[in-house]
Structure 1
């Protein structure tokens, strides 16, 4: 484990024997341990409530420890708590009781039902049959959200101190029917850098190029530019880069049954090649100064 801030049953850090590359990998939406009390609050069946998961993304990136990088992965599900949001993006219509004054109740994500404690899973399905106590939401934030981000910050800071820069790869999946607006492209991957604000343009372009050379269809920032994690932790002027990688679920999972497709292992191998080549590219900078300064 990274240290005591990461010691919990709610999420896990897979550590390499020695960190050899300036990368941190994060899988915040692949958790699939559903608390019984949460399921009792939900109006959805056991399959429907899983529609928000980034199915098996943690398994697709398990290999990164062999390359010398840590992987932080959630065990709690996104439908229960979304750590890729601000800490208090909360919808007052969901709760019994008053929200704290610092809650962000007006964000677009809250309006869309996808706040820190979500109201909906994919396909606009309501999670709860009735309002839930405000105390439930605040407890999730204190006991899970804040420790999760403390752990992620520690991993990034440790990497930055050791290497002089840090590259956070935030790992996600997207529905198989996603298309790029204004085109017929159905991308296999989307690389998000918050439109150039969370990572250097050189790093983003290289990530796209490597994936394309591996035979994938790739889009950049559309329709997913990156969420709170990418935006919050990406400070390229300080050598802190953050990329969001979205993988088309149609490549590796049957979205109706959630069973892995036969190509799962091949996709994981291709992702390993992508990460290896990206890490090699980052390592070609003399003392990493060019990337750190961009």
Structure 2
């Protein structure tokens, strides 16, 4: 039984994937890391709480408890970089976002260990996404796969300056219909907060792999700057603050509502 994998099934044409909120370090690899805190430090903190309303909207929600430092569910399983020429992290990251080594000397995963992690955690997560796409496509001519993320506002190794509040990724417009992109953009722009589309974050492997608008599967990634819902200056892990998160949740509810309207009305 995969107690680390959580699937809440809905009947509406919307899947919310949350691949990076987990902080669980599997015990069989825990001693390989420099420290558990470092291995957990790049989590998309509290994103599962931020989108807790999604199930009430009828969305299917898929998330993992496994830390992205064990294996990143949003990287190409072949190991190919999603952002050639730019700093990024691997399928089984060896450094943190800031470039700090995650593993003790000589303890980095080799090809055999990476393959084991793919089979143990990566494959079931993506099997779940694929199954839910098939199930919902049998009910609806168009569905939206919304990949939910967050990151610190300042990560100099990955991007310059301060990240906009909303970072929408559609792989340059190929992973979903332009009407969906416009609808999500409008929900974000109504907030008056900063937004960019296909900037530094153009969509990870989930968006790029599953997005097939010609077959009725429209995939879009939302990367949020964490400052919108938590105190980034707090020691890790910053606590969940419902009052601080509430205004951002209102905007995200509008974004998911826009996804549902698009899916229902798209010809």
Give the secondary-structure state (helix, strand or coil) at the position aligned to 1:41.
coil
2: CA distance, partners of 1:227 / 1:162: 26
1:26 counterpart (11, 17, 20): 17
Spell out the pairing of 1:76-91 with structure 2 (5 A cutoff): 76-89=66-79
Deviation at 1:133, TM superposition (A): 4.8
Spell out the pairing of 1:1-294 with structure 2 (5 A cutoff): 8-16=2-10, 19=11, 21-44=12-35, 46-89=36-79, 112=87, 114-129=89-104, 130-131=106-107, 132-177=109-154, 186-255=163-232, 256-257=234-235, 258-261=238-241, 262-283=243-264, 285=265, 288-289=266-267
Preserved CA contact (<8 Å) 1:190 1:220? yes
Deviation at 1:193, TM superposition (A): 0.4
2: CA distance, partners of 1:54 / 1:64: 17
- Structure 2 unaligned regions, length at least 5: none
TM-score using structure 2 length: 0.88
Deviation at 1:278, TM superposition (A): 3.4
* Deviation by residue 1:104-159 (Cα, 9 ceiling, x = unmatched): 5x775799562211111110111111234543222111111111111100111111
* Deviation by residue 1:207-250 (Cα, 9 ceiling, x = unmatched): 10111113332110101000111110001111111000011101
2: CA distance, partners of 1:133 / 1:87: 14
Rg larger in 1 or in 2? Answer: 1
TM-score using structure 1 length: 0.80
- Structure 1 unaligned regions, length at least 5: 1-6, 90-103, 290-294
Give the secondary-structure state (helix, strand or coil) at the position aligned to 2:139.
helix
Deviation at 1:266, TM superposition (A): 2.9
Give the secondary-structure state (helix, strand or coil) at the position aligned to 2:145.
strand
Preserved CA contact (<8 Å) 1:85 1:227? yes
Preserved CA contact (<8 Å) 2:143 2:263? no
